[in-house]
Amino acid sequence: MSPETRILAIDYGTKRVGLALSDPMKILASPYETFENNKLLTSKILALIKEKNVEKIVIGYPTNGDGSKTVLSDIIINFAAELSDQSGVACELVDERFSSSVASDRILQAVAKKSKRRDKSLVDKYAAAVILEDYLKTI
């Protein structure tokens, strides 16, 4: 029997990158981690892909309200191509237009302490979980 696989979701930002993982049955999406966006980012994600046996990567693709590209759109396309080339795992870009606002609402409900809610890295990994949840509903 082959090992159980997961789907990794990425909420890419210029400062921080939020990550979420599915369960092996690909039903649940859980906020996982937030990495700093620095020169170690790709190697840390590649290690996570191996460790968690990731079979697919979904990356939030930002667009403006009218569907046009944002400043980050081309950067994310290049990041996805590089990550797919280096990992051998397919990357799919998915609409992330409302993920951060949904994530903020969830944090308000899930995190009791105000001081913990101010942690900006929470929004990034919760936004990745929202992206993954939306994706899991389509498969």
Query: pLDDT of 40-97, one tens digit each?
Result: 999 999 999 999 999 999 999 988 888 888 899 999 999 999 999 999 999 999 987 6
* Residue 10 burial (C-beta neighbours within 10 Å; 0-12, 13-18, 19+): buried
Note the pLDDT of residue 83.
97
pLDDT band at 109 (very low <50, low <70, confident <90, very high): low
Q: In order of start, what are the domains of the chain with their CATH numbers?
A: 6-136 (3.30.420.140)
Helix (H) or strand (E) holding 86: helix 73-87
Q: Give the chain's mean pLDDT.
A: 87
Cα 65 from chain centre: 20
pLDDT at 111 over 60: no
- Whether residue 32 contacts residue 45, with contact meaning beta carbons closer than 8 Å, is answered with no
Q: How confident is the model at residue 117 (pLDDT cuts 50, 70, 90)?
A: very low
Calpha distance 73→68 (Å, rounded): 9
